[in-house]
Structure 1
Amino acid sequence: MLLVEGPAALSGVSALGRLLLDQHHADRARGWRTAGLVSGYRGSPLGGLDLLLQRGAAVFGRHDVHFVPGVNEELGATAVYGSQLATQLPGPRFDGVFGLWYGKAPGVDRSADAIKHGTWMGTTPRGGVLAVAGDDPASKSSSLPSASAQALAECYLPVLAPADVADVLRLGRIGFELSRYCGSWTGFTVVTDVADAYESVLLGEPVEVVTPEFEWDGRPWAPTRHPGVDIPRARAMEREVLEGRPAAAVAFAAANGVDQVVGAADARLGLVAAGHDYACLRDALDRLGLTGPELDRRGVRVLRLGLVHPLDAAGLRRFAAGLPELVVVEAKRGFVEAQVKEALYDLPDRPRVWGKRGPAGALVPVDGALDADRLRAALGPFLAERVGAEHVDLPKPARISLPLARTPFFCSGCPHNRSTVVPEGSLAGAGIGCHTMTTLVGRSEGFTQMGGEGAQWVGAERFTDVEHLFQNMGDGTFFHSGALAVRQAVAAGTTITFKLLHNSAVAMTGGQPADGAVSPAAITAMLHAEGVVRTVVVTDDPTRYPRSAPWAPGVTVRHRDDLDEVQRELREVPGVTVLLYDQECAAELRRKRKRSPERRPVVRINERVCEGCGDCARKSNCLSLEPVETELGRKTRIDEGSCNDDLSCLSGDCPSFVLVPPAERAEVERVEIGDLPEPVRPARANVVLVGIGGTGVVTANQVLATAAVLDGLSVRALDQTGLSQKAGAVVSHLRIGTGRAGQVPAGAADAYLAFDPLAAAAEPTLSTCSPRTTAVVSSAAVPTGAMITDSSLAFPADLPQAIAARVARSLVLDAQALSRRLFADTSCANFLLIGAAYQLGLLPPSAAAIEAAIDRNGVNTATTTQAFRAGRRLALDPAWPPPPAQADTPFDRRADLESYQDKRLADHYAHFVATVRAAEHAAGTTGAFTRAVEVNLHKLMTYKDEYEVARLHLSAGYPEGTRYRLHPPLLRALGMRPITLHRTARPAFTTLHRLRWLRRHPWLNPFGATHLRRTERRLIRDYQRLITDLLPALGTARYDALVELADLPHLIRGYESLKLTAIAHYESRLAALRPTPAGQHPTSPDTPAATLGGPGR
């Protein structure tokens, strides 16, 4: 999009990149030879600007636009100041250099001194500086809510506020010219809903710039420009900076129509709003029946401010003339409101000015971000009373009760999954970066500003009995400013361990290198020089370092499996220590592997061997380990589509893991889609897409927006991601032919595409639906981060049905299962739903435009197009494609027991179950008790000893070359780690399976004498006695209590110590539900089986 002319779809961040080229083109058209410099520091909502500049380096280079990332915001601002110095030094190569500084709101705060010095020193007539502040008023991905206009104003900058993407291009150009004219840097606030927006714009349109005839101090305006400012010169310039430049900025803005007025000339009410707040206000007015013509008819006048500081007092007075009342609509504190009151204060007929306060108290909210819904609710009663607005309270349907939330979580294979875990009894501090998410799962206590990590402990440690703190810090933060916090801790003599993650990337999606980064060895040298007492490097692959690696004195390198031991050692060391955890960002590794021709073994879990205990998930905290319900209970499955090959799951105490040789893409079922009739498409639509971060929700929205532009439609899209790029809820809004702001208001959605039912059932997203909405819903139950770490949690049932109850009509599809069946992975699931939505007549773009947009996206285009077409077919026939010819047969537990041991055991099981079934039939109960016995007796009788694990691996049919991860009892007893069997595995398994007869002879069975095996055999006998004792109570006692007792063995999961812990929990629960009668004693582990009526085992 950098070089496109004419209609296009562009994001707010992309518009900043395009702005640089537009400025260069405009200068060239005037015959000026200018260059550009961009510097600053990444951070949402401007987190993608550096990527855009890096990827487009060739294009920007041809236009003499240079990108120099700042190590931090302050130094980036100082570099941009240097861009104005260049032409005042000997031998300038250009007529001028325009500079663009960028940073999120906290970066504005830390850079205030640099920005003040830069703007005080001035700009050049053919240079100019735009200081772009990324504001996050709702604190979606920031530690604090933010609004930077006031901070920029305090730095002596005029401040512009774009309302949308088109405004970024128009006001951005004006901002550079304003900076050149008045001599100050120009502040430019871009809020999240503008940066993350994706809108149709007309590229290549010239911006006409007018230079005003403005005088100050009795002479034509000419700002003072100095290559440097000393104290006497600074004093001499103060009046110009505080009075002259602001006046020149106002004159320039007025001459170029930066502020605009709409509405009635003879109005009785005025509304004032700036930037994106104006777009939200107009949408709110539309919802209140105050559309364009109605504003005139009902006497409402609206002032759209582009320049929020300094305010054009003369223009404001003209706007306010004749108005009895005026309302200032702005987010956060009343910054504009105060300027409005000051400008109107000395008028004899000044209007009453409302804003944060109204006639009845609070009016415009001071907290969070403003949107059409909040403004409609806040202003509705006021406007109804004043001008007859159509204010009707929207109905509030009952919320869907959700025991779980789709919260952010670390990527699969993320080093933070393991590195942020601390030993029991230790405290950890969080900071800025991915590890902030540890606060969501209770692994850290609070966080600091970026670069302050650990300094809070300097102030706290002497006032608490806690003697040590682990402080998480990323390498990006370390190079940004965190190194100073380490220095502070050393200087203060603090006892602290910095857990410094070196993952070669910053930002929550990877892909962006840490500016100023150096190697782990160089970091240890820096730490040694700072006075750190001890540094230990922990890594997933200690062999990656050469023997000659230049580590600092005393540095040791340990495997990540030793993490807990290393942390316990370091917390006992007085002074400052560092645990340098070196493992590359999982998201970035995934990108590299996709580009690499090398094919790696695939880690899989043999679900029959798996006990569903969740130990692998607890050890790895990996989202790719999905709990799945099977006929044999809950198991764990690896989602190969999201797996990043970290292999941390192999640390789980479980023999179910296998490494399968890489194979060609799995064969998929070939199905004919057939002819697809064209639906009747709407001319305009509000569409909401809801899904999971990292699954292509944003891509889907941008494809649809691009398709709308290709069809010549007006479009506004907004991706609300925040701290959710991976695993959290992502909500995308798409407005085609309607609205001024990107967010779909409450009750206004025409189409609701629920890619994830859990995220889609949550408020306030679901409130966009109404009885006129059509929903297309995926029923796939994708586990949350909480479900990964707590195997007792279950995915909420009936969410698609609950969503369907809130809308006019709905179509429910298991999109992930269909995508896996049709395309061998789940990456196409979203476009199955999009295809269905299109065929239902919910989307304005044509099918040809959507497919062209898919092609433009350039990723997996053929398969994605087929998925779109398959989704269309599903809307016509939800039963398509027909089920596979061979359906799964029910699991035969009796046959399984015969394979497990022999016919004798299988017959005993069948006889016992038949006895229970007959007793229940006689009692006239429902059969749930028998089903519980059937399932749980089989579970207990087929305990997974060495013979059974061998059988189950043999029966899985894994290909030649498969490797098996095992931890035999002998190695476990010797304290050795698990081993991996390759060529010897199958012969060993075959031999073990043949020796299963040894189970019946404990004195011969080499594996049967352990405490666990004896306990497993006892449990079978105890359970049969329990059930026998309960049979007479069928039909007389509480039936559900009897079923619960019969089903209790489902609590028993895991291997070795994990299973023994689970058994203790099971027996404790059993004792609570069924106290042991007086005089009866539990059986001993070695009680002969014959005395209990069971077969010898």
Structure 2
Amino acid sequence: MSKKIPSRFLRESGTEAFNGNELLFKGALETEGGVHLMTGYPGSPVATFFDVLADCSDLLKERGIEARLANNEALAVAAANGLQMGPLRALVVFKSVGLHVASDALALGNLAGPHPEGGTVIVVGDDPWSESTQVPADSRFLARHLFLPVLEPSTPQEIKDFVNVGFQLSRAADLYVGYLITTTLADGGGSVVCRPNHYPLTNTNHPYELQTYNLDLANKVLLPPRTGRRELELPERFERLHREVDRLGLNRLHDVSGVDELLIITSGLAYQYVRQALSDIGLDKRIPILKLAVTYPLNRRRIEPLLARFKHILVVEERRSFIEDQVAEIAIRFSQSRQGPIASLWGKQFPKESSGFPSALGLNASIVVDRLPRFLRAIDSPLARVAAKDIDSELSIISRTSRLEEDLSARTPTFCPGCPHRDSASVLLQIKRQFADEAYMRRRHGCGAIDLVFHGDTGCYTMLMFEPNTPLMHNYSGMGLGGGTGSGIDPFITNKQVVFMGDSTFFHSGITAISNSITGRQDITYIILANDTTAMTGHQPLPTLSQDLLDRPIPAQEIENIVAAVTGRACPVTRVNPEDRKAYRRTLEQTILADGVKVLIADKECGITFHRKRMRAERAEQSKIGFVRRQVQMNVTPEVCEYCLECTNNTGCPGLTVVSTDYGPKIQTDLSWCVNDGACARVDACPSFEEVIITRRRPPTPRGHKIMLEDIPDVPVRRSERVWRAWLAGVGGMGIGTAASILVVAGQHEGYSVQFSDKKGLAIRNGSVYSQIIFSPTGQSAGMTLGYGKADLLIGLDPLEAVRAVNAKEKFRVADPERTATVVNTDASPTIRMLLGQDSINVERLEAALRQVSRPGMYFSARITSLCERIFGTKLYANITMLGVAYQRGLIPVSLESLKEGIRQTIRADFKKNLRAFDVGRKLVSRPDLFADLFGEQQAGPRTLARTVREKAAYLNMRRLGKRRALRGDRPGVGGRRRLPDTKLARAYKHMVFTTLRACRELDRESMSDLAIRIYDLIEWGGLRYARRYVERIRRTFLADSETHGFAATRAVIWNLAKLMLIKDEFCVAHLLTRFEKLRRDRQRYNVNPANGDRIRYRRTFHPRFFGRQVDIRTPHWTLYVLRNLRFLRRVIPRWRHEERLFLAWYERLVDGLAHIQPAGDDYGVYLEALRTVESVTGYAEIRRPKMEAARSKAEQLLADLRHAQQRRLTSAG
């Protein structure tokens, strides 16, 4: 399929904005003579480079440029080595840990050197802050070990231009060149000046015949004694490198005339930090700076004069001292041959044994601002006095940003919604638990309990290390090494062992691991997670597919055939779909228990690619007929949900969320993130999960269609005369990168010089993400990251992540109450720990923290995602809506036309809808009153008690009057219709509620409302007599309770007694799934209007147990109406729900005991705790029973301890 070539890459002049990975590609295109081969292996932060190659596949094929993914990094370097047999150029790209893999091939290739007219540049993506890399990254040291020169760009412009420079250095020095790019530069970017592209004349469309007799075998094929001879030539090759560096003017001294006291040496992104820090403290162009582009090897002849001239040299670099060590070595040799003083060298240590710049993690401008003045004062520099005012001002900002210290919930990454690995993890968690159960193993497999050992590996499945899957990863050695890790412990343990391996990892290095396991006689099961893509790094193609990176046909390789060929069929291989949970589990148990090396292929497409295909099909249907005829959604009925959290603890799926209900928190699907793969339902935890099938005959009425978006007041353009900075914070999947791209295009369109930096890595996997945007007016320069307190605008798509951006315990601290305006969405996205019930988010506390760091009057908050869900049916437009809010409040210094152009260029497929979302944000600012009803009860105020009782009575009336007559309200006027009188049941309900509330009038309103709701539900469950049984105990408890304790015991009994009395048996569940309240809520949730021809249907599978065995039954919806009317069978069937009824009877005795004892003082607290023990009793069947026993034992122990304490008090008193 032909792809349109992005026009930016064809520009030959002018200014254009690119991200760092795009700049690498554009730099390759601009390289003199062209680049012939681009290859490597994807990994953060340079994985996007390969997506750019795929996007530009037609250009590459047209120009005969070879671009491919290697199976691993060593093979990529080997390809570059082979390319140097001819006058050709290779660009090899991988991340820092890939350099470890490639080092053998790179050592040989670099020592042999490139072709005299060729060249090789090795791009290595480093991660100084360890945000997406498993080990600390500083590839400069390994490059030095390999004699590989290191080239470090500092700015977006240099990222592009230094690709050509790298090839010039490679050719001149007869060496490969290491090109180091860090996360901020790779994932960030900015405006650059474009130059003409160069395409290679010798290319895949015009190949040539290699003349082997012309090859320089003596220098290119190395073994001793040739190796030693080439090593002796390295000094001369380095000298040629230095001459080319000088010729190109790469290592530049930004001198200051007459200043000989201090020189700063820096490189890479640290140069930006130094320049920004000097500008902030008023010392820009007051201190000489040696900016190094080539940081290894340093040219002794260029450093020695500086050592002689300056009194102090300060080295500013990220991570360990690499440049500083080289300068120190030169200084030692220089001092041995020179008479007289030389400069004192500082960097990681300052005078008087004080610490200097940190050796671990990265730097930022504020760290430099904090340390540099301290150094100037330590050496008693006059500059410290000259800049005292600016220094104090900056230090005061740093001090202000250090005041807010919040203990924030960690947002750990997890598998995406629909990820096939979740199926495997969920089943393996269950298997691990049951294999450790002696009784289960004896009954099922005739052997003792087994403690499974899981070895870690690299891929999406590395996230098994995080909750809820932590039992499935016990160690980690690196990519393709999980089986090898097991080989070390295998001879000494009897445990069965398992290792996960991705299909990309299989081709990277996993094949040799399997062979090694057979050779080592291991007892291990390889689970190869085959999802047909390199998902962790952005969905690059695999050898299992029939197209390569450039969509060229290739033979698809089958994993089974490869394993069989390698192992001689000594290793059994089984392929199974993990979505078929029962068959998958059965196969897994059999495979794991078998002896020897086994391979099981879990074959299911990546959830992201599968969902993208489905979305494309839906968009095509929408474009063709104006709507989607049929949609299937996963739904959870909150009334049936017990909040046992079995679904979240077994899946950790971010497609689930927590909602507030009358019965406390419940689980629900997040319509914006759930992809309906059914993993949550397949856990078989409870009957609350159901598939909702929506069919339509005509386009639905748009939500929020009554909101007119015309007549939005214009906002005067406030073009910034100084550098303007913004920070966008959110969660992966919220569209932070999209919003940032819109601002980048808008800023470029407005005429600013734009720079940006995004956090990617684990972005799409529910992790914390952010973007930094910097607009610089013409003639002003700025770094591409924000220092402490430097944000002019903070946009928080999630309140937790917004506070993380300003929290002093984090590394960002971007907000300052004297500078920052804040726009925040107060709908918090749950963390995984929240979904597991281990954590909570207090939005009010988060808002208070954000107000504390925002300018007075410049704080705006609203439930933006709720608004978008009501208007658009999804929260995925919240990012654009918030841009509209920020623009309308005058916080973005660009014109409306520029922002619209940003939306148009960034989101081409759905421009009109996104523009409407932008206008919704603008309208929310100018006319917030129009949106009050869309925000629901939270905006309009709490539901009154009288309204609650009236609604419940109306539902009871439906039994006799029918839906239409029972729910009609009073209509004024001549043609109006009056509400019909209540039925006898409804009148009895109202009487029971109001008499009970009158008897308990001191209760708070919330407790009264809870009581009214529960009386209604108990009438529905068992009739008036059953509800009266509940009410009588509430009244007795209230009379025995104490206002001093806020009637805490009564409130506990209101909740917990109803919880136990509402036994969710088959009849109750059928009733809850068919009552009108649920149907009305579902219609609103899915925008279903029967009058428009819409229809909603349900598909459910129940899992009852007969004679101890679970049976799966697919139940038509109509049968539930029959089942709910059979509740009289509760009295007929012997021992029906006997355990729950016994537990209820025990709790009723416990409640009655309170009325009899009337505890006071400390005794009250103990009894209250006993009443609350049943709050932990949740779930169905075997999930619920152990919790009942535990709650009962705990309560009885508390009361026994209480009686003993009372007895001791009586004895001591006597």
TM over 0.5: yes
Q: Distance in 1 between matches of 2:746 and 2:14?
A: 15
Q: Which residue of 1 aligns with 2:962?
A: none
Match of 1:659 in 2: 691
The answer to whether the 8 Å contact 1:35/1:63 transfers is: no
- The 5-angstrom pairing of residues 819-834 of structure 1 reads 819-834=868-883
Unaligned runs of 5+ in 2: 1-7, 199-214, 434-450, 547-554, 622-629, 938-942, 953-1012, 1083-1093, 1205-1214
Aligned to 1:686: 725
- What is the CA-CA distance between 1:408 and the residue it aligns to? 1.2
Instruction: Tell me what 1:1009 maps to.
Output: 1135
Percent of paired sites with the same residue: 27
Partner Cα separation in structure 2 for residue 381 and residue 98 of structure 1: 47
**Residue of structure 1 aligned with 2:652, choices 618, 621, 637:** 621
Q: Is the 8 A contact 1:280 1:740 kept in 2?
A: no
With 432-441 and 727-736 compared, the bigger mean Cα shift is at 432-441
Which aligned pairs between 1:578-977 and structure 2 lie closer than 5 A?
Answer: 578-597=599-618, 600-651=631-682, 652-663=684-695, 667-670=702-705, 671-673=707-709, 674-679=711-716, 681=718, 683=720, 684-737=723-776, 740-762=782-804, 763-764=809-810, 767-772=813-818, 773-788=820-835, 790-791=836-837, 793-798=839-844, 799-809=846-856, 810-857=859-906, 858-884=908-934, 889-890=947-948, 892-917=1013-1038, 926-955=1046-1075, 956-957=1078-1079, 962-967=1097-1102, 969=1104, 971-973=1105-1107, 975-977=1109-1111
Per-residue deviation, 1:840:
2.6
Q: Distance in 2 between matches of 1:614 and 1:230?
A: 62
- TM-fit CA distance, 1:590: 1.7
Q: Is the 8 A contact 2:1174 2:1191 kept in 1?
A: yes
CA shift digits 1:445-485 (9 cap, x unpaired)? 221122222212222333x4453322222111110012111
Deviations 1:81-110 (A, max 9, x none): 232324xxxxxxxxx532111111222222
Partner of residue 438 from structure 1, selected from 445, 460, 464? 464
1:508 alignment partner, SS class? helix
Q: Determine helix, strand or coil for the equivalent of 1:660.
A: strand
Residue 155 of structure 2 corresponds to residue 164 of structure 1: yes
Choose between structure 1 and 2: higher helix proportion.
2
Q: Kindly state the Cα deviation for residue 680 of structure 1 after the two structures are TM-superposed.
A: 5.5
Please name the residue that 2:988 is paired with. none
Q: Deviations over 1:116-156 (max 9, x none)?
A: 33334433454322211111122211111112233234333
Any idea what the Cα deviations from partners look like across 1:702-760, whole Å, max 9, x if unmatched?
A: 22112111111122211123444311111221122276432211122222212112222
- Structure 1 partner of 2:455: 429
Moved more, 260-269 or 412-421: 412-421
Matched, 1:1022 2:1159: no
Superposed CA offset, 1:504-525 (max 9, x none): 1214264222346699993223
Which residue number corresponds to residue 406 of structure 1?
Answer: 411
Letter in 1 for 2:486: W
- Structure 1 residues 347-356 or 822-831, which shifts more? 347-356
Q: Given the two structures, how large is their TM-score scaled by the length of structure 2?
A: 0.78
Kindly state the Cα deviation for residue 1048 of structure 1 after the two structures are TM-superposed.
4.1
Distance in 2 separating the partners of 1:432 and 1:568 = 24
Counterpart check, 1:309 vs 2:314:
no
Go from structure 1 to structure 2 and tell me whether the alpha carbon gap of 1:703 and 1:1014 turns closer, same or farther (over 3 Å shift). same
Worse-superposed segment, 528-537 or 502-511: 528-537
How far is 1:980 from its partner? Answer: 1.6
Distance 2:750 2:557 in 1: 55
Change (3 A) 1:233 1:666: farther
Residue 3 (structure 2) aligns with: none
SS in 2 for 1:111: helix
1:601 alignment partner, SS class: strand
What whole-Å deviation, never above 9, does each CA across 1:235-290 have from its counterpart, x for those lacking one? 58626740232212211111111122224122210011111121122223233332
Cα pair 1:589 1:644 within 8 Å, conserved: no
Name the structure 2 match of 1:178: 169
SS for the counterpart of 1:760 is helix
- Aligned in 2, Cα 1:680/1:886: closer, same or farther, shift over 3 Å? closer
Task: Calculate the aligned-residue CA RMSD, in Å.
Answer: 3.0
SS of match in other structure, 1:768: coil
Q: SS in structure 1 opposite 2:38?
A: strand
- One-letter code of the match for 1:15? L
CA distance in 2, matches of 1:141, 1:727: 14
- Rounded Cα–Cα distance in structure 2 between residues aligned with 1:323 and 1:366: 25
1:478-497 correspondence runs (5 A): 478-497=506-525
Alignment partners' CA distance in 1, 2:197 and 2:585: 62
| Residues 1:79 and 1:886: Cα distance change in structure 2 (over 3 Å) | closer
Given that residues 43 and 537 in structure 2 are in contact (C-alpha distance below 8 angstroms), is that contact kept between their aligned partners in structure 1? no
Deviations 1:595-614 (A, max 9, x none): 22485522111121111111
* 2:453–2:495 CA contact under 8 A, matched in 1: no
Aligned to 1:552: none
Counterpart position of 1:210:
none
1:43 deviates by 0.8
Which residue of structure 1 aligns with residue 20 of structure 2?
A: 12
Q: Secondary structure at the match of 2:794?
A: strand
The match for 2:1190 is 1065
Letter in 1 for 2:821: T
Pick one of 317, 330, 336 that aligns with 1:330.
317
Residues 560 and 307 of structure 1: CA distance in aligned 2, closer, same or farther (over 3 Å): same
Once the two structures are TM-superposed, the CA of residue 58 in structure 1 deviates from its matched residue by 0.8
Counterpart position of 1:93: none
Deviations 1:897-952 (A, max 9, x none): 333332333344344444545555x8576354434333333322221111111111
User: Which residue is equivalent to 2:63?
Assistant: 63
Letter of the structure 2 residue corresponding to residue 189 of structure 1: L
Asked whether the 8 Å contact 1:122–1:224 carries over to 2, the reply is no
Residue 529 of structure 1, CA deviation: 3.8
Question: What are the Cα deviations for residues 646-668 of structure 1, in whole angstroms up to 9, with x where unaligned?
Answer: 21111232111221214456741
**CA distance in 1: counterparts of 2:1200 and 2:928, whole angstroms:** 52
| Aligned residue type for 1:644 | V
* Aligned counterparts of 1:102 and 1:692: Cα–Cα separation in 2: 28
Count, aligned residues: 1011
Does structure 1 retain, via aligned residues, the 8 Å contact 2:885–2:922?
yes
Aligned partner of 1:219 in structure 2 is none
Residues 56-455 of structure 1: matches in 2 within 5 Å? 56-86=56-86, 96-124=87-115, 126-204=117-195, 228-231=220-223, 234=226, 238=230, 241-267=233-259, 268-292=261-285, 295=286, 300-344=287-331, 345-346=333-334, 347-348=338-339, 349-361=341-353, 362-384=355-377, 385-386=380-381, 387-388=383-384, 390=388, 391-392=391-392, 393=395, 394-395=398-399, 397-402=402-407, 404-420=409-425, 421-422=428-429, 423-424=432-433, 425-441=451-467, 442-443=470-471, 444-455=473-484
- Which moves more between the two structures, 226-235 or 804-813? 226-235
2:210: which partner in 1? none
Task: Report the secondary structure of 1:332's partner residue.
Answer: coil
Name the counterpart of 1:995.
1126
Q: CA deviation at 1:163?
A: 0.5
Which amino acid is 1:990 matched to? Y
What is the Cα deviation at residue 636 of structure 1? Answer: 0.9
The separation in 1 between residues aligned to 2:474 and 2:324, in whole angstroms, is 38
The aligned amino acid for 1:2 is: F
Of 260-269 and 720-729, more deviation after overlay is shown by: 720-729
Equivalent position of 2:958 in the other structure: none
Taking a change above 3 Å as real, the CA distance of residues 400 and 1074 of structure 1, as seen in their structure-2 partners, is farther
Q: How far is the alpha carbon of 1:306 from its aligned partner?
A: 0.9
Aligned residue for 2:10, secondary structure, equals coil
